[in-house]
């Protein structure tokens, strides 16, 4: 077994568990559809998060060609992104004593800062990985830095107006759709 094959199994398990968290949350909300009060921003954020899970799984294949010498540090660095995504997926829906909650608008209103902070951390992890592991330049990371900045603005200004969150999540979704429609990731090259 090649080192990459060994590492991708762990990464895939973590990503799969995160996707399962999202699907369980969606299924729970749909099972109580008539009682559930949906949030536009939260619902779109869930879709974006699914795109990010898929993108990470897809992009991880690049490391089979990019990394020649595997180390514990590299593996830990690569696993940090899926772990942060899993944590975010776990927090996207009410659990524990709140597991019967069906007001996603209220849940998102109470928890968006934590959700945004965790997502912002994934952007930082991505920037560091892109520079240190994939060899991208600092200037090539400016779009991701701007993306991160928008999250910091929302968190630091404590923006409560749901219309701004809805607009932000719609813009983010359009960005991810654009990314998926136009990216040539070279997996099959």
Mean pLDDT for the chain overall: 90
- Residue 155's nearest CA partner among 95, 184, 114 is 114
pLDDT 10s digits, 97-153: 566 778 899 999 999 999 999 999 999 999 999 999 988 999 999 999 999 999 999
pLDDT tens figures, 6-40: 889 999 999 999 999 999 999 989 998 999 999 99
Look at phi and psi of residue 158 and say left if phi exceeds 0, alpha if psi is from -120 to 50, else beta.
left
Cβ neighbours of 39 (radius 10 Å)? 22
Q: How far is CA 16 from the centre of its chain?
A: 13
- DSSP bridge pairs for 95: none
Q: How far is CA 148 from CA 25, 130, 153, in A?
A: 26, 14, 9
> The tokens 């654009």 sit on which residue?
178
CA distance 70 to 139: 26
């Amino acid at each position: 077994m090649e080192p990459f094959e060994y590492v991708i199994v762990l990464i895939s398990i973590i990503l799969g568990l995160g996707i399962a968290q999202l699907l369980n949350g969606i299924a729970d909300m749909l099972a109580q559809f008539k009682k559930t009060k949906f949030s536009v921003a939260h619902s779109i954020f869930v879709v974006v998060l699914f795109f990010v899970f898929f993108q990470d799984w897809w992009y991880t294949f690049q490391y089979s060609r990019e990394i020649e010498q595997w180390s514990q540090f590299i593996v830990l660095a690569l696993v940090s992104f899926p772990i942060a995504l899993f944590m975010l997926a776990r927090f996207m829906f009410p659990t524990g004593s709140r597991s019967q909650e069906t007001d996603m608008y209220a849940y998102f209103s109470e928890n968006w800062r934590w959700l945004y902070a965790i997502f912002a951390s994934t952007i930082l992890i991505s920037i560091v990985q892109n520079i240190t592991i994939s060899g991208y330049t600092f200037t090539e990371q400016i779009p991701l830095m701007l993306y991160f900045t928008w999250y910091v603005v929302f968190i630091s200004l404590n923006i409560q107006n749901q219309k701004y969150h809805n607009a932000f999540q719609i813009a983010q979704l359009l960005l991810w759709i654009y990314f998926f429609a136009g990216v040539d990731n070279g997996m099959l090259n």
